[in-house]
Amino acid sequence: MEGAVLPQGFMSFDDVQDRLVEAMLTCWRYPDRERGWQTLRCAWPEISRDVWAGDYDARGGDGTSGDVTLRPASQTRAEIAEMDEAFGWLDAVAPNDRKLIGLAIRELARGRREIPWRSLMPLLGIRMGVTGVQMRYSRTITAICHAVNRRNPSVGVSTG
């Protein structure tokens, strides 16, 4: 859809993906991370926190080492509302697809330019089919786009 003029308020694939990445980053900055994970309405806690991969706190450890006290950046109500909204989008997809989305978004939130599909496959219980996993991710993000755009009253309204 490059170069296409989209209706105001329309959420594209990249818009949805970017909002989910921002929601993940906001979640990581949440002052009380455990409470933040408990307030989410989906399976995001299980997929965003991977203690075995060293993803417990900003120091990269399990929170037991080091004397550094973390001071999270302050967050606005708007950031928290946007995080809640983006995580709420995941209610529209199947639990297995939520896990796939969460693992992929986590990699993008860590700063990767591309998602390492092959390394995510064992976490999903899949041995073969990188292309199939990529297609499943694409279909799921597209389904979220459709669900979000159906709820947006400004999409599809004639302005002429």
Confidence band of 127 (pLDDT split at 50, 70, 90): confident
All structural domains of the chain with their residue ranges: 13-56+74-151
CA distance 146 to 101: 16
What b/e sequence results for 30-67 when a residue is b if at least 16 CB atoms lie within 10 Å of its CB, and e otherwise? beebeebeeebebbbbebbbeeeeebbbeeeeeeeeee
Question: For 123-144, what is the mean pLDDT?
Answer: 93
Nearest CA-CA partner of 143 in 97, 104, 106: 97
- What are the tens digits of pLDDT across the range 147-160? 999 886 655 544 44
- What are the tens digits of pLDDT across the range 45-86? 455 555 445 555 544 445 455 555 555 556 788 888 899 999
